[in-house]
Structure 1
Amino acid sequence: MVWVAEFGKAPPPRTKRLLIANWTFPESLHLKHPDCAMFTAFVDESQSHRTKSKTRFTQPTTSPPPKRRQVSRACDWCRTLRIKCDSRHPCKNCEAKGRPCSSRGTNSVRTYADAVKEIEKLQGRITQLETQVHARGTVPRRNNLVSTPVRIGDRAPSLPDYLDPLREHGGNNRHLEYIHMRTAHSHQRQSYGRSSSFYFIGRLSSYLGVALQQPSCEDLIQLDSASRSFSSPVVTTGRAPNRTPVGVSTTDTYLIRSQEEYFLNMFWTTYHTLYPVIDRQDFEEHYGSLWTSETARFPSALVDILVAICMQYSDALMPQATSPGAPIIGNIDSAISGRRFYARCQLLLADELEGPSMVTLQCHIFSVIYLSNASFQNTAHGHLAFAIRTGIILGLHWKSPENLAEKDKEFRKRLWWTVYALEMKMAMDLGRPLGVNMSQVTCSLPKAPQGHLSPGVNDFTFNEQYVKLILAARSVYVIFHNKCAEVLAENDGRSLYNDLEELEKVAECVSLRMEDLKTWQRQVPDFIKSKKMNCGETFSTDRSALDLREQLSTGLSRQGLMLELLQHNLVMNLYRPFICFSRVDPIPFVDANAAACASYAITITNIINQVLTESNILVGFHEVFQWQWNAAISLIGYIAAYPTSPLSTTAQNSLSTAVTVFDIIGKNLLIASSAAKVARDISKKVEFLVILSTNNTNTVTFDPALESLTGDSFPQALAYESFNSLESIYTGLGNVSDIWNFGDPTEFLSPWMTDPDTEFQDMSATGDFLQS
Structure 2
Amino acid sequence: MTLAEHQVARRRQKRTQVARACDECRLRRRKCDNKVPCSNCTAKGRECSSSGAPKASTLTQASDEIEWLKQRVRQLEAELEQRSDQRNNPPTPIGSSSPSQVSSYSRNNAGYGYGYGDSRALKKYWAGIQLRPARSSNDAWLGSSSLHSFIQRLSVFLSIKLQETHTTLHLLPISASDSKLLDMPAAASDADPVRRLMSSTGELSTTGVYLSPIQEEYFINLFWQTYHTSLSAILDETQFKAHYQSLWVAGGKERRQSALVDIIIAMCMQYGISALPLDTQGILVEGKDALVAGRWHYWRGQTLLTYELESPSISTLQCHMLCAVYLCGGSFHNMMDNAVGQAVRTAYTLGLHIEPPSSMSNKDREMRRRLWWAVYLMDSKAGMKLGRPFMLHDSHIMPQLPSDSFAAARASGSAFTPISDQSTWLSFNLHQTTLYMKARAAYTSFYGQDLHLRDNQTLWDDPHALQVSAEVLTHHIQALHEWTDNVPSALKLKRQNNGTSLSTDGTRLSIEQFAPLWLQRQRVLLELTYHHLSVNLYRPLISFSAKPPPGSRAEAVAIRCASHAIMLSCITQQVLAESSILDGWHEAFHYQWNAAMTLVAFVVVYPHASLTAQARSAIDLAVTVFDNFGAKFAVAANAAKIVRDLCVKVDLLAKYSQESQSQYDHSQGLEGIPMDDSLNVSQGFDFDNNNNISSIGTPGDGNFDSVQNLMTAPELDLFDMAVDLDFWNSLDTLWPERDDFSKFQTEVSAV
Q: Same fold (TM over 0.5)?
A: yes
Q: Which residue of 2 aligns with 1:652?
A: 616
Q: Secondary structure at the match of 1:368?
A: helix
Partner amino acid, structure 2, of 1:718: D
Gaps of 5+ in 2: 1-72, 95-106, 187-195, 410-416, 661-671, 679-713, 739-751
Quick one: structure 1 residues 169 and 461, their matched pair in 2 at CA, closer, same or farther if it must change by over 3 Å? farther
> Aligned partners of 2:264 and 2:182: how far apart in 1?
16
Answer whether contact 1:581 1:702 (CA < 8 A) is retained: no
Structure 2 partner of 1:407: 363
Identical counterparts, % of pairs: 34
Q: Which amino acid aligns with 2:253?
A: T
Whether 2:576 is the aligned partner of 1:618: answer no
1:296 to 249, 254, 274: 254
Partner of 2:635: 671
Q: CA deviation at 1:208?
A: 0.3
Superposed CA deviations along residues 52-99 of structure 1, whole A, max 9, x for unmatched, are xxxxxxxxxxxxxxxxxxxxxxxxxxxxxxxxxxxxxxxxxxxxxxxx
> Is the CA contact 1:235–1:740 (under 8 Å) kept in the aligned structure 2?
no
Following superposition of structure 1 onto structure 2, how do residues 597-612 of structure 1 map, counting pairs within 5 Å? 597-612=561-576
Instruction: Say if 2:244 is the partner of 1:287.
Output: yes
1:718 correspondence with 2:717:
yes
AA aligned opposite 2:674: T
Is the 8 Å Cα contact of residues 545 and 607 (structure 1) preserved in structure 2?
yes
For 1:734-745, what aligned pairs fall within 5 Å after superposition? none
Q: Distance in 2 between matches of 1:372 and 1:283?
A: 24
2:296 is aligned with 1:330: no
What pairs up with 1:352-501 in 2 under 5 angstroms?
A: 352-451=308-407, 452=409, 454-455=418-419, 459-483=425-449, 485=450, 487-488=451-452, 494-501=457-464
SS in 1 for 2:452: helix
* TM-align CA RMSD: 3.9
Partners of 1:465 and 1:161 lie apart in 2 by 47
Distance 1:563 1:163, change over 3 A: farther
Deviation of the 1:235 alpha carbon: 9.4
Partner AA of 1:412 in structure 2: R
Instruction: State the distance in 2 between where 1:257 and 1:586 align.
Output: 63
1:568 corresponding residue in structure 2: 531
SS for the counterpart of 2:130 is: strand
The alpha carbon displacement at 1:187 in A equals 2.3
Moved more, 555-564 or 689-698: 689-698
Q: Which has the larger radius of gyration?
A: 1
Q: TM-score, normalized by length of structure 2?
A: 0.70
**Number of residue equivalences:** 577
Secondary structure of residue in 2 paired with 1:567: helix
Name the SS for the 1:439 alignment partner: coil
Judge conservation of contact 1:220–1:719 (CA < 8 Å) in 2: no
Q: Deviations over 1:558-602 (max 9, x none)?
A: 001001101100000111111122246425112111111111111
Query: How far 1:165 moved relative to its partner?
Result: 2.2
Matches within 5 A, 1:304-343: 304-321=262-279, 330-343=286-299
Cα contact 1:311–1:338 (8 A) shared by 2 = yes
The residue aligned with 1:685 is: 649
Q: Does the 8 Å contact 2:406/2:424 carry over to 1? A: no
Aligned position for 1:193: 143
In the TM superposition, what are the counterparts of 1:40-59 in structure 2 within 5 Å? Answer: none
Give the C-alpha shift of residue 122 in structure 1. Answer: 4.6
Question: Is residue 421–residue 470 contact of structure 1 (8 Å, CA) maintained in 2?
Answer: yes
Q: Could you say if the C-alpha distance between residues 741 and 493 of structure 1 is closer, same or farther in structure 2, counting changes exceeding 3 Å?
A: closer
TM-score, length-scaled by structure 1:
0.68
Are residues 327 and 300 of structure 1, via their aligned partners in 2, closer, same or farther at CA, if it must alter by over 3 Å? closer
What is the aligned counterpart of 1:166 among 105, 109, 116? 116
Q: Is the 8 A contact 1:290 1:299 kept in 2?
A: yes
Match of 1:259 among 206, 209, 215: 215
Partner-residue secondary structure (3-state), 2:612 = helix
Aligned twin of 2:674: 699
Return the alpha-carbon distance in structure 2 between the equivalents of residues 467 and 430 of structure 1.
19
1:514 aligned partner, one-letter code: I
Q: 1:470 is aligned with what amino acid?
A: Y
Aligned-partner Cα distance in 1 for 2:477–2:349: 35
Inter-partner Cα distance in structure 2 for 1:371 and 1:297: 25
**Aligned letter for 2:499?**
G
Bigger shift: residues 458-467 or 262-271: 458-467
Mapping 1:138-153, distance limit 5 Å: none
Aligned equivalents of 1:195 and 1:188: distance in 2?
Answer: 21
Unpaired segments ≥5 residues, structure 1: 1-109, 132-156, 238-245, 704-714, 731-735, 744-772
Cα 1:610/1:634, change in 2 over 3 Å: same
| Partner amino acid, structure 2, of 1:250 | L
Residue pair 1:224, 1:724 contacting (<8 A) in 2 also: no
> Does structure 1 residue 547 correspond to structure 2 residue 513?
no
* Distance (whole Å) between structure 1 residues aligned to residue 151 and residue 503 of structure 2: 26
1:175 to partner: Cα distance: 4.8
Q: 2:266 touches 2:298 (CA, 8 Å); kept in 1?
A: yes
User: Does the aligned pair in 1 maintain the 2:109–2:118 contact within 8 Å?
Assistant: no
- Counterparts of 1:129-278 in structure 2, within 5 Å, are 159=109, 165-167=115-117, 174-214=124-164, 250=204, 254-274=210-230, 275-278=232-235
Structure 2 vs 1, CA of residues 337 and 742 (structure 1 numbering), >3 Å: closer, same or farther?
farther
Give the Cα–Cα distance (whole angstroms) in 2 for the partners of residues 660 and 380 of structure 1: 28
> Given the superposition, is the C-alpha separation of residues 408 and 251 from structure 1 closer, same or farther in structure 2, using an over 3 Å criterion?
farther
- Aligned partner of 2:603 in structure 1 is 639
Match of 1:629 in 2: 593
Cα distance in 1 for partners of 2:606, 2:534 equals: 20
Q: Equivalents in 2 of 1:409, 1:234: separation in Å?
A: 47
Paired letter, 2:676: T
How far is 1:686 from its partner? 0.9
